[in-house]
Amino acid sequence: MMSNREIEAAWCMPEVAKEQKELADCELEKSVHDIAPFAEFLRILGNLNGVEEVIDIGCATGSYGVLLKGHFPDIRYVGYDISSEMCLHARDRGLDVRDAMCDGLPQICRAGVLLLCAVSLEYAKYPPYALWRVLQRNPLSWLMLHRVRCHEDCGRKVDERSYCGLDIPMWRWNRKELDVLFENSGRQYAWHTWPKDQRQFTIVVEPEA
Ligand SMILES: C[S@@+](CC[C@H](N)C(=O)[O-])C[C@H]1O[C@@H](n2cnc3c(N)ncnc32)[C@H](O)[C@@H]1O
């Protein structure tokens, strides 16, 4: 099993960022309707009222920033990623991105912000804690946990080849554990199913009332 430091270092390798960029280029050329995570992101975001800014935690080379520019040009976008190599590629797309670890993000205590976590917290040392911290530190923001994959059993890391070509363990959530976490946060939240892919979900947590 790789240590957390090794996982962080793996994301920062230039060849991983290059592979991720090429994959993103290829996906962004297609119609969003053919890429379920993109189509679902746009559909779910389009049903939320009052989102002025998306902060993309673990933005990689910035696919969601490009989508926003094209479909919701009035919504501001800022990406954060642990890998400065990924950030370089995202900047080449004209996006505002910053190098940072999701566990050490600045407090973003503003209304109108949606924090997007699309398969990034899953690589934190202990993802439920990383998620809890993001929720606690940002009570006024929406949180969108996108592309959630669940396990029947309790949440745990599984060895799975990621789409960036890295063989690193990734967290699989457990639905009941996530429900408990969100209920304990006292925030309203909803699970969104994906019509074209029953294995993935998106969870949207509302700002504190
Ligand atoms: C599987 S990719 C997902 C990229 C993007 N969100 C998407 O869905 O296309 C995971 C990204 O999270 C970043 N990442 C991993 N651990 C992180 C951490 N602790 N803080 C910030 N970013 C992290 C990686 O560098 C990588 O770019």
Does ligand 1 have an atom closer than 6 angstroms to the CB of 79?
Answer: no
Does ligand 1 have an atom closer than 6 angstroms to the CB of 60?
Answer: yes
Question: What does the pLDDT read at residue 125?
Answer: 85
Ligand 1 atom closest to the CA of 146, numbered from 1: 8
Question: Domain spans of the chain?
Answer: 4-205
Question: What does the pLDDT read at residue 75?
Answer: 98
3-state secondary structure of 195: coil
In the reported structure, the alpha carbon of residue 118 is separated from the centroid of ligand 1 by a whole-number distance in angstroms of 8
Superfamily of domain 4-205: Vaccinia Virus protein VP39 (3.40.50.150)
Residue of 123, 134, 170 to mutate, ligand 1, most atoms within 8 A of C-beta: 123
Does ligand 1 have an atom closer than 6 angstroms to the CB of 85?
Answer: no
Measured between alpha carbons, how far is 11 from 128 in angstroms, rounded to an integer?
20
DSSP state string for 86-133: HHHHHHHTT--EEE--GGGPPP---TTEEEEEESSGGGSSSHHHHHHH
End-to-end distance of the chain based on CA atoms, in angstroms?
41
Question: What does the pLDDT read at residue 2?
Answer: 52
pTM of the model: 0.94
Question: What does the pLDDT read at residue 147?
Answer: 96
- Name the pairing type of β-strands 167-174 and 53-57: unpaired
Nearest residue (by CA) to ligand 1, atom 3, is 119
Measured between alpha carbons, how far is 31 from 23 in angstroms, rounded to an integer?
14
120 closest CA partner among 108, 105, 142, 110: 105
pLDDT in tens, 6-20: 667 778 889 999 999
Measured between alpha carbons, how far is 50 from 94 in angstroms, rounded to an integer?
24
Do residues 124 and 5 make contact, with C-beta atoms less than 8 angstroms apart? no
Taking CB atoms within 8 Å and a gap of at least 24, the contacts of 9-13 are 10/166, 10/168, 11/81, 11/82, 11/83, 11/86, 11/123, 11/164, 11/166, 12/82, 12/83, 12/84, 12/85, 13/85
Does ligand 1 have an atom closer than 6 angstroms to the CB of 90?
Answer: no
In the reported structure, the alpha carbon of residue 162 is separated from the centroid of ligand 1 by a whole-number distance in angstroms of 11
In the reported structure, the alpha carbon of residue 174 is separated from the centroid of ligand 1 by a whole-number distance in angstroms of 20
Enumerate residue ranges in the chain where pLDDT < 70. 1-7, 101-107, 160-163
- Tokens 């991720």 locate to 20
Does ligand 1 have an atom closer than 6 angstroms to the CB of 17?
Answer: no
In the reported structure, the alpha carbon of residue 102 is separated from the centroid of ligand 1 by a whole-number distance in angstroms of 9
Question: What does the pLDDT read at residue 97?
Answer: 95
